[in-house]
């Protein structure tokens, strides 16, 4: 009965009115009352980043032409060079590039993807970046003086699809353009709606931490278009795990000069609710690549209330967690950290801790006895591509673990259903999971277990996200949670725990 009541309440809580969903901006709306930034528009002081000079699709027809060996004019901000060659086969595992005249420290891209290890006079494999048809090399020289650097030449080998030796293709004539870097992010960028024509979008921050950006300030920008019926509510902006100490702006208003990783801000009085609101995070230089803080789990979200609803457990509770099989993954553990972070940013008094003894393949015979805990959270998911046999085996293991724990503890037990797989709700794996999930829910009710319905809520979101301004992946085709999927899991856990 508890499960039925939960699902009835959840059906109302987790649904969004179709006509009220926004069509602009960079948000996804996974649950009622939540809007999560799904992608960032990358605006840097460097003009090349804003216009995507290293992208394959960029049109460099207006650039100057220079031949290999020509001296480049001085440029304090650096110089970009582009060249192309034709690929006649779909794949060339032996494709390699040999640069001559390439200065140290130059950055090399092929079809917009960085070519690691490109140095002067040594062959470097390019099979991973190579494509059939037009291939574009982009090379960046950092700031240099007059007579300091020359235009390189590059020989491409291993392109034959027949297995017979082929004469190397030598690229000598390049398109050239000097870089131009703004020393500070203009105020107009912080207030202007939309992406301003910037060509680079990213759902995550680590792409900025590879060292390829020309030196200069960086602006992460997201268009904010929340449902119109949020107007008049107390809206909170949550920021989690951002690297460095960026400045935070909402519609050009400074919220925080130096964000220390995470924070919560009142946004209701600043938002205009007209589909043209703008969130910007500004770094004075390239975002740092700090160990453990490369921005992989950085997340920004808005909630239509001042904070999250707190769990129905007493403050100071420690929840015993047992994650095994496919649930023993970084994304699931990160979800618990998000839960703690959301609570900490919403309340200064309430505390919730997690305790776990899980490890891959841990047998029940040596499982930690959760005595002394009032609440337990168990997740045992298929660790493969979700065949019917794997799903059934994982379900059996989950109920076996709960039964074992019940014999050793009087704790209240919750079980977490697995996430969806990939982007499409009707993938074969999701169909199998859906059929198994219906049986699981009935069995859980019979066993009087409380359920965190991860699969049901994520699948509902997958079906609705075609109407959102931006779409995201909750998990990979193998069931690995993405950062957005991990954050979604945290929201579902919090929502479930807050119900009476």
| Whole-angstrom distance, CA of residue 218 vs CA of residue 464 | 33
Distances (CA, A) of 107 to 86, 103, 167, 196, 496: 21, 10, 26, 26, 48
First to last CA, the chain: 13
Tokens of 294: 């490369």
CATH 2.60.120.260 describes domain 40-45+185-303: yes
Nearest CA to 82 out of 115, 105, 59, 51 is that of 59
Domain 2-25+308-497 falls under CATH 3.30.360.10: no
**What is the CATH number that goes with domain 52-178?**
2.60.120.260
Alpha helix stretches (DSSP H) within 306-387: 330-346
Between vectors from CA 487 to CA 482 and to CA 493, what angle results, nearest 5°?
125
pLDDT for 79 = 93
Q: What does the block give as tokens for 72?
A: 């480049």
Helix or strand run (H / E) with residue 133:
strand 133-141
CA dist., res. 435 & res. 457, Å (int) = 15
40-45+185-303 and 52-178 agree in CATH topology: yes
Q: How many CB atoms lie within 10 A of CB 196?
A: 14
Q: Can you say whether the dihedral through the CA atoms of 34, 256, 220, 213 is positive or negative?
A: negative
Rounded Cα distance, 58 and 298, in Å: 29
Tokens 């969903």 correspond to 21
Q: What Cα–Cα distance (Å) separates residue 351 from each residue in 18, 302, 304, 422?
A: 36, 22, 22, 34
342 in Cβ contact with 497 (< 8 Å):
no
Which tokens belong to 463? Answer: 């079906």
The answer to whether the CB of 469 falls within 8 A of the CB of 26 is yes
Note the pLDDT of residue 11.
Answer: 39
Residue ranges of domains in the chain: 2-25+308-497, 40-45+185-303, 52-178
Contacts of 414 (CB under 8 A, 6+ apart): 375, 376, 377, 378, 449, 450, 451, 452, 496
Q: Report the distance separating Cα 214 and Cα 237, nearest Å.
A: 30
The tens place of each residue's pLDDT in the chain, 500 residues long, gives 333 443 443 433 343 333 345 657 899 999 999 999 999 998 889 999 899 898 888 999 999 999 999 998 889 899 999 999 988 777 778 889 999 999 888 889 999 888 988 888 889 999 989 888 899 999 999 888 766 788 999 999 886 555 455 567 889 899 999 999 989 999 999 999 888 889 888 888 766 665 566 778 999 999 999 888 999 899 999 999 998 899 999 999 999 999 998 999 999 999 999 889 999 999 998 777 767 677 889 999 999 988 899 998 888 888 988 888 889 899 999 999 999 999 999 977 898 888 865 555 444 444 445 556 778 898 889 877 677 888 888 888 888 888 888 887 777 889 999 999 998 998 898 999 999 999 999 999 998 899 999 999 999 999 998 888 888 999 998 889 999 999 999 999 999 999 87
């Amino acid at each position: 009965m508890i499960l039925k009541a939960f699902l009835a309440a959840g059906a109302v809580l987790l649904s969004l009115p179709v006509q009220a969903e926004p069509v602009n901006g960079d948000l996804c709306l996974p649950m009622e009352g939540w809007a999560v930034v799904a992608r960032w528009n990358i605006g840097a002081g460097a003009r090349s980043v804003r216009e995507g000079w290293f992208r394959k699709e960029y049109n460099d027809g207006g650039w100057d032409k220079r031949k290999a060996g020509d001296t480049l004019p001085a440029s304090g901000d650096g110089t970009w060079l582009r060249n192309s060659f034709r690929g006649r086969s779909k794949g060339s595992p032996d494709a390699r590039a040999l640069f001559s005249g390439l200065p140290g420290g130059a950055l090399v891209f092929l079809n917009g993807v960085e070519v690691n290890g490109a140095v002067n006079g040594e062959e470097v494999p390019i099979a991973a970046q190579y494509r059939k048809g037009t291939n574009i090399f982009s090379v960046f020289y950092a700031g240099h003086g007059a007579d300091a650097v020359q235009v390189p030449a590059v020989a491409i080998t291993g392109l034959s699809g027949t297995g017979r030796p082929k004469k190397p293709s030598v690229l000598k004539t390049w398109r050239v353009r000097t870089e131009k870097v703004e020393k500070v992010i203009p105020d107009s960028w912080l207030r202007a709606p939309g992406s301003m024509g910037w060509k680079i979008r990213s759902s995550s921050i680590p792409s900025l931490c590879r060292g390829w950006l020309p030196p200069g300030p960086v602006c992460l920008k997201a268009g904010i278009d929340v449902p119109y019926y949020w107007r008049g509510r107390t809206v909170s902006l949550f920021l989690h795990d951002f690297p460095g100490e960026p400045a935070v702006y909402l519609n050009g208003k400074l919220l925080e000069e130096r964000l220390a990783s995470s924070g919560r801000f009142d946004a209701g009085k600043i938002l205009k609710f007209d589909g043209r609101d703008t969130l910007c995070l500004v770094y004075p230089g390239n975002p740092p690549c700090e160990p453990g803080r490369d921005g992989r789990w950085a997340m920004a979200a808005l909630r239509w209330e001042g904070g999250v609803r707190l769990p129905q457990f007493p403050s100071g509770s420690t929840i015993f967690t047992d994650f095994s099989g496919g649930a023993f993954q970084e994304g699931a553990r990160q979800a618990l950290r998000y839960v703690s972070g959301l609570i900490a940013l919403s309340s200064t008094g309430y505390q919730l801790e997690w305790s776990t003894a899980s490890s891959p393949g841990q047998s029940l015979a040596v499982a930690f006895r959760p005595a002394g805990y009032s609440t337990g959270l168990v997740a045992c998911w298929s660790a493969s591509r979700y065949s019917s046999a794997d799903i059934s085996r994982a379900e059996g293991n989950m109920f076996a673990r709960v039964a074992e724990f019940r014999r050793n503890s009087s704790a209240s037990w919750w079980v977490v259903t697995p996430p969806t797989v990939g982007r499409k709700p009707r993938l074969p794996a999701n169909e199998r999971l859906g059929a198994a999930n219906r049986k699981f829910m009935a069995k859980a009710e019979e066993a009087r277990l409380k359920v965190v319905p991860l699969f049901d809520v994520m699948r509902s979101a997958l079906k609705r996200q075609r109407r959102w301004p931006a779409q995201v992946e909750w998990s990979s085709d193998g069931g690995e949670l993405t950062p957005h999927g991990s954050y979604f899991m945290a929201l579902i856990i919090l929502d479930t725990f807050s119900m009476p």
